């Protein structure tokens, strides 16, 4: 039992790590099989090249059984790359280390590993494992320095560079897909925005109905109430007036219910539209003709005209020029007011008159407008309802004052409403600000949602644009990394190899003149005085003549430089302290 548990531990650990290296492969169809077959044919092509057999591995791979085995290895590595690309890269690296004809297989595996692996850190670990294995093999075999540099260059060209290109390609595809997904998301958001705009427009229509039609119905109900209490009206007409007042009140309630359905309480933004061609003076006059005991007082300010009063008696006594200074003249309080401020003041007066006629019929209403250099003060106050007046309707909805407060807030003002002196008082303070400020505030209040907050819409940078730019920068960094990192490493390795080659060649060079001056039979001590410090690593074992029996040979090169060039190898053989043979081994 203990042995089974101990054996199950490593298997479970291996299975867990194996599953972590697995990537989604998708379904296998004819196109996938054809693509993998073509890839196998390309990367296995070097196996069928005729090469100079320098060792047993070359001889085996060049044989028919070796080519079959090499083809099977290629197919297995390519197939493994669909689900475990990093394992495929490690297997291809081992095959390429055994025989250079698997180099294309390693290139393809490196690219596919970078293309298919979602986590770049796993690929870095796999490449580090390959580098450690190459270093260990060089240490075990006692390879020369050139072997280290060749292994490093091969790993860089065959593994690192293709892997970086694959990573760049993966990021590029992800960016394209993210762009399409973002476009689809923007289309969905655009549909939502359109629906919200439609709902807002419906709410604005409902607000206009509440402000204008509700006000008119309240005036009609007020007139019917006045007829109901008229002393010279007989009982039959009095009942008709009561029915008319009740019907109008019911109509107003049904209108309020309909508005409650149309309005969206979560969006209290007021309608940008307002009454055309009617000011506060006309509104007050229309209410006065409907039977409301209302007075309009425009109190003097630094920019206003003289105080004016509009009521039933004062207007007739003052004449048509009392309120504005002449026919067609603009009232003093309204000069240079932004449109949004005018509409806000108009709505304050209209809603207050509607509430007064609805909840305090027969009460006296005073509308007071006061303009100072910094603000416009709108005050609407009514007294207690008149004795004997029809009973007021119960307040329902509470939407009028809420919408009114929002409209005043949008132009930077404040609104207060509440009982005062037995009646009700509404006071709105709308700031004007210095020259040019009011216009900017008004434009912002009347602008659609999102406008007025900073620069123009086309100058503001959206979140999607920022994400796209971030993805493009990441893609550019990936491309630069895929080019500069291998390129820089190659330059460093090339410089190291050139420097090492030059140093090695100059320290193992025996000039042709010095070689010709040596004679067979010359004492070894005299010969060593003209020999360089190092021997040349080249032996050219397949081209040199047989070594004399019992002799030890040294090898030197005839030329030196930073770049490899054809040169002769000089072989000097010594036995019993004397030079017994000197040979020239030409380049292949």
Domains assigned to the chain: 273-324+332-385+398-448 (3.30.565.10), 508-585 (3.30.1450)
CA-CA distances (angstroms) from residue 458 to 386, 446, 454?
Answer: 58, 19, 11
164 and 124 Cβ atoms separated by less than 8 Å? no
Residue-wise pLDDT tens digits, 417-459: 889 888 899 999 998 854 334 444 444 444 444 444 444 443 3
More confident residue, 260 or 189: 189
Q: Could you tell me which of 544, 552, 556 has the C-alpha nearest to residue 578?
A: 552
Task: Please state the pTM of the whole predicted model.
Answer: 0.47
Joined tokens for residue 138: 């060089």
Distance CA 328, CA 2 (A): 107
Distance CA 565, CA 561 (A): 8
CA dihedral 62, 63, 69, 73 (to 10 degrees): 10
Q: List the alpha helices (DSSP H) in 459-565.
A: 463-507, 512-517, 524-528
Distance CA 207, CA 430 (A): 21
Average pLDDT score, the chain? 75
| Mean pLDDT score, 324-335 | 52
Question: Which residues are CB-contacts of 563 (< 8 A; sequence separation ≥ 6)?
Answer: 498, 501
The phi-psi region of residue 295 (left if phi > 0; otherwise alpha if psi is between -120 and 50; otherwise beta) is beta
Residue-wise pLDDT tens digits, 459-500: 345 666 676 677 677 767 767 776 777 777 778 777 777 777
Degrees (nearest 5) of the Cα angle 484, 488, 490? 120
Residue-wise pLDDT tens digits, 15-72: 665 666 666 666 777 788 888 888 888 888 888 876 555 556 666 767 778 788 888 9
More confident residue, 545 or 214: 545
Inter-axis angle of helices 399-410 and 339-359, to 10 degrees? 160
Q: Which of 58-67, 167-176, 303-312, 377-386 has the lowest mean pLDDT?
A: 303-312
């Amino acid at each position: 039992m203990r042995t089974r548990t101990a054996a199950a531990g490593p298997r479970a650990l291996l299975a867990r790590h194996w599953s972590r290296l697995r990537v989604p492969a998708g379904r296998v169809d004819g196109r996938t099989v054809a693509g993998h077959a073509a890839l196998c044919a390309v990367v296995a092509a070097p196996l069928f090249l005729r090469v100079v057999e320098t060792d047993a591995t070359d001889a085996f791979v060049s044989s028919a059984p070796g080519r079959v085995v090499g083809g099977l290895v290629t197919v297995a590595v390519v197939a493994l790359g669909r689900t475990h690309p990093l394992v495929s890269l490690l297997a291809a690296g081992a095959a390429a280390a055994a025989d250079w004809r698997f180099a294309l297989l390693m290139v393809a595996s490196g690219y596919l590993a970078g293309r298919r692996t979602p986590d770049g850190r796993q690929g870095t670990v796999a490449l580090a494992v390959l580098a450690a294995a190459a270093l260990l093999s060089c240490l075990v075999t006692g390879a020369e320095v050139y072997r280290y540099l060749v292994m490093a260059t091969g790993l860089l060209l065959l593994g690192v560079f293709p892997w970086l290109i694959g990573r760049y390609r993966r990021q590029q595809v992800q960016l394209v897909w993210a762009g399409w997904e973002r476009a689809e998301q923007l289309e969905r958001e655009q549909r939502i925005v359109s629906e919200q705009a439609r709902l807002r427009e419906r709410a604005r229509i409902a607000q206009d109905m509440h402000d204008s039609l509700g006000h008119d119905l309240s005036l009609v109900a007020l007139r019917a109430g006045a007829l109901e209490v008229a002393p010279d009206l007989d009982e039959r007409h009095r009942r008709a007036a009561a029915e008319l007042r009740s019907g109008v009140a019911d109509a107003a309630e049904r209108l309020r219910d309909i508005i409650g359905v149309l309005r969206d309480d979560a969006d209290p933004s007021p309608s940008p539209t307002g009454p055309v061609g009617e000011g506060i003076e006309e509104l007050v006059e229309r209410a006065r003709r409907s039977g409301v005991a209302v007075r309009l007082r425009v109190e003097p300010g630094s920019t206003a005209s003289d105080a004016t009063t509009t009521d039933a008696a004062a207007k007739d006594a003052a004449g048509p020029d009392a309120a504005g200074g002449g026919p067609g003249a603009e009232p003093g309080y309204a000069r240079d007011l932004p449109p949004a401020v005018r509409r806000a003041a108009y709505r304050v007066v209209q809603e207050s008159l509607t509430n007064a006629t609805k909840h305090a019929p027969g009460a006296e209403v005073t509308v007071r407008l006061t303009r100072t250099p910094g603000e416009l003060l709108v005050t609407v106050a009514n007294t207690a309802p008149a004795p004997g007046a029809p009973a007021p309707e119960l307040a329902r909805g509470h939407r009028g004052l809420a919408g009114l407060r929002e409209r005043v807030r949008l132009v930077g003002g404040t609104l207060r409403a509440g009982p005062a002196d037995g009646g009700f008082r509404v006071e709105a303070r709308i700031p004007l600000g210095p020259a040019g400020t009011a216009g900017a505030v008004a434009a912002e209040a009347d602008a659609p949602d999102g406008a007025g907050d900073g620069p123009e819409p086309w100058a503001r940078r959206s979140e999607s644009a920022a994400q796209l730019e971030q993805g493009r920068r990441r893609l550019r960094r990936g491309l630069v990394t895929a080019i500069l990192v291998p390129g820089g490493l190659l330059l460093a390795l090339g410089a190291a190899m050139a420097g090492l080659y030059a140093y090695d060649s100059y320290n193992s060079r025996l000039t042709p003149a010095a070689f010709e001056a040596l004679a067979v039979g010359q004492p070894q001590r005299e010969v060593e005085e003209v020999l360089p410090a190092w021997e040349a690593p080249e032996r050219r074992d397949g081209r040199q003549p047989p070594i004399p029996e019992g002799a030890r040979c040294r090898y030197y090169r005839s030329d030196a430089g930073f770049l490899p060039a054809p040169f002769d190898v000089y072989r000097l053989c010594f036995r019993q302290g004397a030079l017994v043979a000197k040979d020239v081994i030409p380049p292949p």
